[in-house]
Amino acid sequence: MERKITIEEAKVYHEDYQMRMLQLNEITGILPVKGRGIDSSSFYDYNVSGKISMQAMYERNKISGEDLKIFLHQLLAVIQEAENYLLNIHCILMEPEYIFYEEGRFYFCYYPLAKQDLWEELHKLTEYFVKQADYDDKECVRIVFIIHKETMTENYSLGKIVKECLKETEEKGEDIKEQVLYDEKDGNHSEWNVCDYDSSEHDWIKRQHHGNLIMEETENMWTPVKRLLNRRKKPKWGDWDGLYIEEEEL
C-alpha cells in the first residue's frame, strides 16, 4: 500500500528538466516524486511509504545529538548529490513536515516550484531544533548552539559547520570530567547544569497565533549554554503562497 503526500499549487503544470532528472534517476536522500497537472493547477506527489516525518517523529520525543549528527551529514550529502545532477539545491524543502525518516536515513522533498533560499530555510529549521533539543544531552546542546549561531551569518559554509559538529568529543571528555569533579568538590553545580535553568527567566517566547507557533529569541536565551561552552576548551567555530498539503493512501 503506497502512502504519499501531495503539494498542490495554482499554476499550470510544466515538466522541466528537473522533473525529468528526478524521474530518470534514483537520487539518494531525495523522495521519489511524480508531477501532474489538472486544469490550471500543478500537483507533486511524493512517495513516503514506510517513512515518518520529522515533525511527527519529534512531536513527543526530543532530538538527540546523535540525531543531529546523522541529519547534518546526510543533508550535506543530499545537497552535493543534487548539485551532481544539476538540480537547484534551493528546491530542497527544509520544513520538518517535508523531511522524512526511515531506518537510519533522512529523506527530503524536492519541490521544483519552490521560491526560497535554502540557507535561510536551514536557519529556520535550526530554530525548530532549539525548541525540540534534548537539553539533558550535552552533545546535543553543543551542536544546536553551533548550527543556530553559525547559520545566522551571511555566506556561511555548511560543510565547515558539519565538520565542526561531527568532531569527536573524546578529547573533551577528561576536561568535562575534571570540571564535574571540581564543581562537586566546591558544591557548585549552577553553571554546569545548564539544562536546569528556569526558562521563564529568559526571553524565549512561545505563543500561539492563528494556530501557528511563533518563536522569538534573544541573546539571553543562550546565556547558560554559552557559560557551559566557555568552561571547556573553545573550538574554532569558524512560502510558497497557496500551498495545499494532503496525505493519501492508495
Report pLDDT digits (tens) over 216-247: 443 445 555 555 555 544 444 444 444 444 44
Give the pLDDT of residue 46. Answer: 97
Residue of higher predicted confidence among 228 and 107: 107
Mean pLDDT of 144-158: 94
Give the pLDDT of residue 2. Answer: 84
**How open is the CA angle 68-171-69, to the nearest 5 degrees?**
10
CA nearest 4: which of 39, 31, 41, 40? 31
- Residue 105: in which H helix or E strand, if any? strand 105-108
Residue of higher predicted confidence among 24 and 227: 24
CA distance 86 to 17: 9
- Which position has the grid cell 517523529? 57
Mean pLDDT of 102-110: 96
CA distance 143 to 129: 10
Average pLDDT, the chain: 78
CA distance 191 to 197: 9
Q: How confident is the model at residue 132 (pLDDT cuts 50, 70, 90)?
A: very high
**How open is the CA angle 159-68-196, to the nearest 5 degrees?**
125
3-state SS class at 248: strand
Mean pLDDT of 164-188: 53
For β-strands 212-216 and 3-9, DSSP reports them as unpaired
**How open is the CA angle 78-82-87, to the nearest 5 degrees?**
155
Tens-place pLDDT, residues 47-101:
999 999 999 999 989 999 999 999 999 999 999 999 999 999 999 999 999 999 9
* % the chain with pLDDT above 70: 67
Mean pLDDT of 142-154: 95
Q: Which are the contacts of 121, defined by CB distance < 8 A and separation ≥ 6?
A: 93, 94, 95
